[in-house]
Chains A and B, each alone.
Chain A
Amino acid sequence: MTTIGLPHFLIVGAILFALGMVTVVTRRNAVGILMGVELILNAANVNFIAFNHFVEGPDRLTGQVFSIFVIVLAAAEAAVGLAIVLAIYQTFRTIDVEETDLLRE
């Protein structure tokens, strides 16, 4: 039995990514799609930090810096995306992405 290494974390990241992709593909609710995007970003973060720990070494911190940027941009994306979802809801009275196919009111 081996100890926990890099492939373990990469596999967790892969499963997270795939489940996030399933969420994005199968949901028709705009908020659900945004949650899938959050899962995908988390998968990327797990990979960044795992590579930082196992490949880059503890002396350099590029992976962790990048993960912080990803978290910051995810926050910005969530704020703007959910505001857009609210605006769409005010216009169309629904957030089903297959029904909101008009650029005008």
Chain B
Amino acid sequence: MGSAPRRDARRSVVQGLLRVAAMLVGFLVGSRRRGARLASGRPLGLVTLLVLYLSVTLFIWGLNGFAFRKLPLSGIALLLFSAAAFGVLFLLGYLLGAVAGPFVADAATTIIPYVKLADAIFYLFAVMTVAGAGGCAFSRNIIYSAWSLLFALLGAAGLYVFLGADFPAVAQVLIYIGGVLVLILFAIMLTKQIGGDPKLTNAHLGLPAGVALAVVTVATLTYTAVMAPWKEVAQRGWEPTSARLGIAFLTDYLLPFEVASVVLLAALVGAVVIARKEIKETGDTYEETPSGAAR
């Protein structure tokens, strides 16, 4: 009795290998013919078309074993499906090769010498930060907002590194992402409505007003940032700043440093006291809890 499943398993393995081989063969044949056509730029002959069609069919048959198994293709359906796919691919290839290709190549040869790696990294971090902030501002689900905030904070940490501020970047990752974001997630999870639906979405009251406010703010600040005559100093290479930062904290900024530590202590003790009150209340006056829900 145990041999039938094993035989099935072996057959499925063999079939999977066969399909992988068909995918590889189809891909290699198709790509070589395509590459030759793209390199030469000549119009396609009938044989080439047939070979390309067969390679697409082979590839789709191989792919059918893995990707869209709910729809097993065989016989006429396979031929028709691959013909459709081949038509789409042919159009795409024609568009890419004849229309978009020269344009993209032209643009790339014009742009690429001007793009530096540092600039690309800056734009990566900037886009990450702005996209994260946008998700935090406009997402309907507050948990998605919190995760978007993660990306905004990570991107800001990358910008700090870009500006040669290594210690603030590490502090950002440790304190914001490791502490504040976890606190926010805890608060979201703890303040679900206990009965009924968790009230995660928030009504977007005044969203047009908010967007208008944002547009005005960005326009004003950008105008200031671009137009103001900042007195920039000459740039030097990057060097670690944490040692000098520590010396500065213990000499020039000793009093603010101590005050900040006292503030942290007071804030943490206060947070514990405020958050602990609920445990006492729910423990003492359990009956009064419904009346406490003043609306």
Contact = CB atoms under 8 A, between A and B. Distances in A.
A31 B137 contact: no
A93 B187 contact: no
A49 B165 CA distance: 7
Interface string B193-221: 11000010011111101110111011001
Contacts of B213: 18, 21-22, 25
Majority-rule SS of B interface residues: helix
A52 B230 CA distance: 12
A1 B114 contact: yes
Contacts of A87: 274-275, 277-278
A100 B119 CA distance: 47
Majority-rule SS of A interface residues: helix
B133 A105 contact: no
Nearest to A85: B187
Contacts of A8: 122, 126
Interface residues of A, number: 80
Contacts of B236: 58
Interface in A1-28: 1, 3-23, 25-28
Contact of A39 (B152, B175, B205, B211): B152
A19 B142 contact: no
Given A19-B137, A28-B205, A56 B233 contact: yes
Given A38-B180, A64-B165, A18 B214 contact: yes
A21 B217 contact: yes
A64 to B, nearest CB: 5
Closest 5 CB pairs of A and B: A10-B225, A14-B221, A76-B267, A18-B214, A83-B271
30 contacts: A4-B122, A9-B163, A12-B130, A12-B159, A14-B218, A15-B133, A19-B136, A26-B137, A28-B202, A31-B184, A31-B188, A32-B142, A35-B136, A35-B145, A39-B136, A39-B137, A42-B152, A45-B160, A54-B230, A54-B232, A55-B230, A75-B180, A79-B267, A79-B268, A82-B187, A89-B190, A89-B191, A90-B277, A90-B278, A96-B202
